[in-house]
Amino acid sequence: MHIEVRNLNKQFGDFHAVRDVSFTIEKGHLIGLLGPSGGGKTSILRMLAGLETPTSGDIEFLGKRVNELPPQERGIGFVFQNYALFKHMTVFDNIAFGLKIKKQSKEQIRNRVMELVELTGLKGFEHRYPHQLSGGQRQRVAFARALAPEPQLLLLDEPFAAIDAKIRGELRTWLKELIERVGITSIFVTHDQEEAIEVADEIMIINKGQLEQKGSPWDIYKSPETPFVAGFIGESTIIENIGEIRGFENANGWSGTKALIRPEYIEIGKPGEIRLASAAMNGRVKHLHFRGSEWMVEIEVGAAKLITYRSLEKDALHPGEEVNVLVHRAYMFNDSDSWIMENK
């Protein structure tokens, strides 16, 4: 176990920013801290780094409590969203910075910097200054600089936020490969669910200071444990009265139960298009949104509104049109439990 956090709390005056958060992280894993703005992600990252003192709780690295250890003694590399490169230093000197502090020899520094320049695809750029680089290149320098002193743990705070959308995807894949190759335990903060799903081995969903769920992107998508997680990862519609949905009438009596339905578990068709039409409900197309590869369709079924997708190959639907709607699966939640219900 590389990192163990137990009952971590952070209060700023009366405000409880992080509430009783506990988790463990395996060595070499890449973890995404995901959640809405103000949820406490950065506060957790800063406490791991030693930049913020926990109000209570324990942080252990490799079985050793580090609560009182200053940041520079924790063996951590940092990357921030705004690069934070030294503007008056070349790429070479930026990457060499942490090594000079460690008082390594000129030759050791040169070897390590050139190794990182190779690893991060910056060969030929060693003598440039930050203003002579693209955003993506600058962020690569920031990664190289953070990795140079061979940290035990890499912390990344919204590392792609300032990068042009066009190259962000490329840089994500690149970073994931780089981290795998180096084999370093890494934690990154993001509020972008797509980014977390694509990059992380494991995601921790943080909301209102609490850890809502931790698991692989697939686990979290497939088995969300709270309505918040289900709504935050992937698209879905919340149904207050699931008993109104055909096939789910049994759920009617369970008080306080909410249901979430994902688009891929909703089948729609023109009358006659659906195989199990006898099990379907009547609905009406409310809106259609063109998504490039398919249509996103909003349907009204009684008081419920559902969202699903329709492929471009099928006959076009029109707003106001009557459709058959079949719901195959719902995610059910009450105060204490979550479960999946299939339409049998």
Could you tell me which stretch among 32-40, 131-139, 172-180, 261-269 binds ligand ATP (CB under 6 A)?
Answer: 32-40
How many angstroms separate the CA atoms of 28 and 20, rounded?
A: 25
Annotate each residue in 166-205 with x if it binds ligand ATP (CB under 6 A) or - if it does not, as one string.
Answer: -------------------------x--------------
Among 37, 293, 311, 336, binds ligand ATP (CB under 6 A): 37
Is 208 within 8 Å of 195 (Cβ atoms)? Answer: no
Is the CB of 39 or the CB of 227 nearer to ligand ATP? 39
Site string for ligand ATP, 43-62 (x = CB under 6 A): x-------------------
> Quick one: which segment of 37-45, 159-167, 295-303, 326-334 binds ligand ATP (CB under 6 A)?
37-45
CB of 10 to ligand ATP, least distance (A): 8
Residue 36 CB, shortest distance to ligand ATP, in Å, is 7
Q: Which of 42, 120, 193, 236 contacts ligand ATP by CB under 6 A? A: 42
CB of 38 to ligand ATP, least distance (A): 4
Query: With contact defined as beta carbons under 8 Å apart, do 298 and 286 qualify?
Result: yes
d(CA 263, CA 71): 45
| Sign of the dihedral defined by the CA atoms of residues 194, 199, 203, 206, in that order | negative
Q: Which stretch binds ligand ATP (CB under 6 A): 39-47, 212-220, 258-266, 295-303?
A: 39-47
Give dist(CA 60, CA 1) in Å, integer.
10
Among 5, 25, 32, 40, binds ligand ATP (CB under 6 A): 40
CA distances from 336 to 67, 172, 225, 229, 257 (A): 33, 37, 10, 15, 10
Of 37 and 255, the one with the shorter C-beta distance to ligand ATP is 37
Examine residue 227 and tell whether it contacts ligand ATP (CB under 6 A): no
214 to each of 1, 202, 208, 227, 295, how far by Cα in Å? 16, 7, 15, 14, 32
Counting residues that bind ligand ATP (by CB under 6 A) gives 12
The pair phi, psi for residue 325, each rounded to 5°, is -130, 125
Task: Work out which of 17, 96, 325, 341 binds ligand ATP, going by CB under 6 A.
Answer: 17
Q: How far is the CB of 45 from ligand ATP (least distance, A)?
A: 8
Asked if 138 is part of the footprint of ligand ATP (rule: CB under 6 A), the reply reads no
Q: Applying CB under 6 A, which of residues 3, 8, 34, 41 lies at the interface with ligand ATP?
A: 41
Enumerate binding residues for ligand ATP (CB under 6 A). Answer: 12, 15, 17, 35, 37-43, 191
